[in-house]
Amino acid sequence: MGRFRPLLGILLAVVASCLVACGGPAAKIPTTYTPELLQQVELYTPAVAELRDRFPELQGYIQQKDWVNVQSFIHGPMGEMRMRVNRLAGTLLTKDKPQAQSLAKEIYTHLERLDEAAANNQQVIAGQEYRNALDDFDAFLSLVPTFQ
């Protein structure tokens, strides 16, 4: 019995650690927007909506085959999109975050493909990627609560 006493002490320490780590109250996952969460969403939404309002400029450059301005626009005004969209996605409800993050990645992918199409003077592909990016952006914005 003397040999097992140290092992018994270690076993009790492991069990106690597991109970303490796993036995706490479950984290509350908000199912509706709290005033604090809404305040954060309201803070980040205008910057993202501003980018959505600038999409027609990009469409004009694509229609004019102005590839230099297409690329400048993607890397300039749209260059902040990743940061702004990710920040806004982080304030959404837990149930909406995965879809918002997935849509955000799709938007970036379409813009990267659009940039590549512009570099290769491919107007049809550029137009398709523009439309896909715009559709995904609108889907992303549909996840954001609206304010009166």
The predicted-structure confidence for 40-79, as pLDDT tens digits, reads as follows 899 999 999 999 999 999 999 999 999 999 999 999 988 8
Question: Using N-to-C axis directions, what is the helix angle for 35-53 and 81-89, rounded to 10°?
Answer: 150
Structure confidence by residue, pLDDT tens digits, 3-27: 666 766 676 666 666 666 666 555 5
3-class SS of residue 71: helix
What CATH number is given for 33-142 in this structure? 1.20.120.290
CA 11 to chain centre: 44
CA atoms of 78 and 82, how far apart (whole Å): 8
The CA-atom distances, in angstroms, between 24 and each of 12, 18, 138 are: 18, 10, 40
Whether this prediction's pTM lies above 0.85 is answered by no
Which residue's entry shows tokens 């400048």? 72
CB 84 within 8 A of CB 51: yes
